[in-house]
Structure formats: structure tokens, C-alpha cells
Amino acid sequence: MKNLLFILLSIGLFACKSDVDTNKYYGAKITTDKAISYSAMLEKMGDRDSFPVKVSGTAREVCQKKGCWMTIADKDGEEMFVQFEDYGFFMPFDIAGKDVVLDGYAYREVTTVQELKHYASDAGESQEVIDAITEPEEELKFMAKGVVVLNDVKD
């Protein structure tokens, strides 16, 4: 009888496998519903300085020192620099190429030469590349309160 119960329980757990959430959550646990693409975000943001939004994209690069920033890209290759609210969480170093959903806000900011050089160093760029940074850049950035790294396992 115990063996039959064990077999039935095992079958039940196996049958429910697809209901298990295998996404990875960082920061605030957010949902993926109503996330929009980077290009849709740009359109909705318009000329505003900042815009609260949930956006999806692909992790392109992650800070290899602490995981304290990353860049995401959409399917057209448009990139955005992402930081994490209050440095409250960090991302794994190996998520480049994985799909992500971010919840927070997009904002425009001028990044100083010193910051740009710091980020280039964190990314492992050569000293030649770092020394070539001589001008600040106006960028669109994102401050994430939570990130979901989507499961890339195909059933």
C-alpha cells in the first residue's frame, strides 16, 4: 500500500511539473504581465524625463565585478543601461543572452566621463578603450526595483 501511495504521489508531482515557476527573481518579486518592449517603452515615454514602466528585453552585458548593473537590448539591438534600486540586489554574471523583465522606471541622464570609464572598467574593457572615453553621454537608463530572468528551458 505504501508503495502504491508513493507511486501515485510521484506521478502527481511529475504531472504538475509544468506549473512550477522556474523563473529567477531579483529584488522585489514582480510579475511579467503587462511588460512592454523597449521600442514600445520609447514610444510611450516620448519627451518625458522619466517614465514608470515594466519592460522586457534580453540581457546583453552584466557588471563582472559585482553584478551591480547590466544592459538590456531589444530585438532591434537598441540598448539601455540598468541599475538596481538602492543597490539592494545584484545580478548573476552569466545571464547575458537571457530574456528578462524589469519593473521600475526609465529616465534620461547625462553620464559623466568618470562614470563611463568606471563602467567600462567594470565591463572588462581594455585600458585603450577606457582612455578613449573623453565626453559625457546623454543616455536613457533604467532603475529597476525588481528583475525576472525568464526560464529558458524548453519543454
Judge whether 39 lies within some domain: yes
What does the chain look like in DSSP terms, one character per residue? Answer: -HHHHHHHHHHHHHHTGGGS---EEEES----TT-EEHHHHHHHHTT-SEEEEEEEEEEEEE-TTTS-EEEEE-TT--EEEEEEGGG-----TT-TT-EEEEEEEEEEEEEPHHHHHHHHHHTT--HHHHHT--S-EEEEEEEEEEEEE------
Q: Is residue 33 part of a domain?
A: yes
Q: Could you tell me if residue 8 is inside a domain? A: no
CATH of the domain at 127: 2.40.50
Task: Flag whether pLDDT at 139 surpasses 50.
Answer: yes
How confident is the model at residue 5, as a pLDDT? 44
Total number of domains constituting the chain: 1
Asked whether residue 115 is domain-assigned, the answer is yes
pTM score, two decimals? 0.78
For residue 111, is it within any domain?
yes
In a domain, 2, yes or no: no
pLDDT tens-place string over residues 52-94: 999 999 999 999 999 999 999 887 778 899 999 999 999 999 9
Q: What percent of the chain has pLDDT over 90?
A: 69
Rounded mean pLDDT, 14-19: 53
78 within some domain: yes
Domain enclosing residue 45, as ranges: 21-149
